[in-house]
Structure 1
């Protein structure tokens, strides 16, 4: 497995172009020792090329789920392979694909992919995409760009799925989270039942609060203005995550009893393309004409906070 690592004296990020350009590790130098900001990737997951077990994987040309693998768009009904245990199409199509390294140095890595060069692509339209990973001091930036390479309008979405560690050191007994959100997509499953609604108190992270370990959180939110904030007070480390306005939605996934949680900046909400086709507005659906591109940046900043 040929990993590519960008690093400086504060932060190190390893990427695996061969497996969706998924992130294998993100580490921060704390008191002379490297700690895992993102959950570390097991060696077995790398050998199995299983992106779902990596530190982070990337979502293109759509985020999260398309209900029952059936996509309705501009009067057409299109069937996708269902790769979710609940019978949906999930997490886009690029996380399993090998990407090409376009350029790299010690601080920056650029990769690209063209769906026309891949086999059995689970998407009806051709597209190309690029990602750039860059370190500048304690700031890690991911830039996404996707282009419609076909002759018809196509819906697109993109984002990333980082799993963060609940504990950085043995001093951590809790993690604090603050989310810049203004709405919650309703429903008791990952498929929303309608347009976003006001956030109920039990899921309101607009003010910093403890992310409990004993209850499942798996919700899609309509993003608002501001930054995601995470604190590990025991270790004295804080993280902010900023996303460009194109990332209109935010997913929080925190499984009970697990040593990780995910905060995912994404453009479209769960099943957003189908919701938009049914007349629901403000789903984050982007429509690209032939030759058009959509792009956006996500910035993660790590600092000591004592």
Structure 2
């Protein structure tokens, strides 16, 4: 695979058998995460498309806002579309901006992005903010921190999360427990919260199969487990406080990946009668919020740890 490093230079992090690549200019995304030779995340394909990266940050909101329209501080706001002809703006703006490298060491890096709500950029988000992310490898795994500060003069709604992709690589198994799941209408927006049906229940880890999910789970236990039996490799995802929602996306063939996305709020939470009840936070001017995620791999076969 040819990776276009001239278009998007990659920062490399290493710690023991773990290695990671970071793409500051491509949405501050991860290009890869490896345990020895094994790809723990679907690796970047070298294109100029952040949706083909390994994982990217979600901010200042996750998933969709219905038709880009919502009310805040007594005003109706309208965002422009950011995903082709899709009717709902998607995943905020952090994934579509180049990030600045603030620090880079062999095992870690810190990136930031500054948004000014001026001119056309105000149609992406009507408040000024600065966001940052720290990525650090340890012997245990990859530690991610993502934060945002409201630099505007009014309270700002905010949400944070991550969008990691995992290759199926055979019968990928997934496990997580959640209290409820949101069913979506034909418009792709959540409209009904129900108990988790049997076909969507991964409380006992099992092969993902063709379950066909693109749904937000609520009240998950902040841990997800992925296991590739043929390789004897497992990955435990541990979410810190404030990531009480999990979006699971399992597209049909020929797509050979799934996405398991820990996020702070429900899709389109800003248009519910009580957004804060669904995880959205309101930041006063100058206030910040931060979230943490850990990706912790393990191997049953020591040979996977060597190049």
Q: Deviations over 1:82-140 (max 9, x none)?
A: 12443001010111211111111101100111112987321001111110000001310
1:69: Cα distance to partner?
A: 1.1
How is 1:284-295 mapped onto 2 (pairs within 5 angstroms)?
A: 284-295=279-290
TM-score by length of 1: 0.90
What is the match of residue 158 of structure 1? 160
Output the CA distance in 2 between the equivalents of 1:286 and 1:240: 27
The count of residues paired between Structure 1 and Structure 2 equals 289
What is the match of residue 2 of structure 1? 9
Does residue 64 of the first structure (1) align with residue 60 of the second (2)?
no
User: Is the 2:73–2:155 contact (alpha carbons within 8 Å) kept by the matching residues of 1?
Assistant: no
Instruction: Tell me which of 293, 298, 303 is aligned to 1:303.
Output: 298
How is 1:164-203 mapped onto 2 (pairs within 5 angstroms)?
A: 164-167=166-169, 173-189=170-186, 190-194=188-192, 196-203=193-200
What is the match of residue 39 of structure 2? 36
TM-score by length of 2: 0.89
Question: Larger deviation: 219-228 or 156-165?
Answer: 219-228
Instruction: Tell me which of 239, 264, 270 is aligned to 1:273.
Output: 270
What is the match of residue 170 of structure 1? none
Instruction: Tell me which of 269, 278, 283 is aligned to 2:278.
Output: 283
- Matched residue SS, 1:202: helix
Output the CA distance in 1 between the equivalents of 2:140 and 2:120: 39
Structure 1: state its 5+ residue gaps: 168-172
Do the aligned partners of residues 223 and 12 (structure 1) sit closer, same or farther apart at CA in structure 2, a change above 3 Å counting? Answer: farther
- What CA RMSD, in Å, does the superposition of the two structures yield over aligned residues? 1.7
Structure 2: state its 5+ residue gaps: 1-7, 302-307
Output the CA distance in 2 between the equivalents of 1:100 and 1:106: 17
What is the match of residue 305 of structure 2? none
Output the CA distance in 1 between the equivalents of 2:247 and 2:125: 23
Flag as ranges the 4+ runs of structure 1 deviating above 4 A: none
What is the match of residue 17 of structure 1? 24
Q: Deviations over 1:55-83 (max 9, x none)?
A: 11111100000001112224321100112
Do the aligned partners of residues 27 and 114 (structure 1) sit closer, same or farther apart at CA in structure 2, a change above 3 Å counting? Answer: same
Do the aligned partners of residues 163 and 103 (structure 1) sit closer, same or farther apart at CA in structure 2, a change above 3 Å counting? Answer: same
User: Is the 2:199–2:211 contact (alpha carbons within 8 Å) kept by the matching residues of 1?
Assistant: no
Output the CA distance in 2 between the equivalents of 1:223 and 1:13: 30
What is the match of residue 133 of structure 2? 131
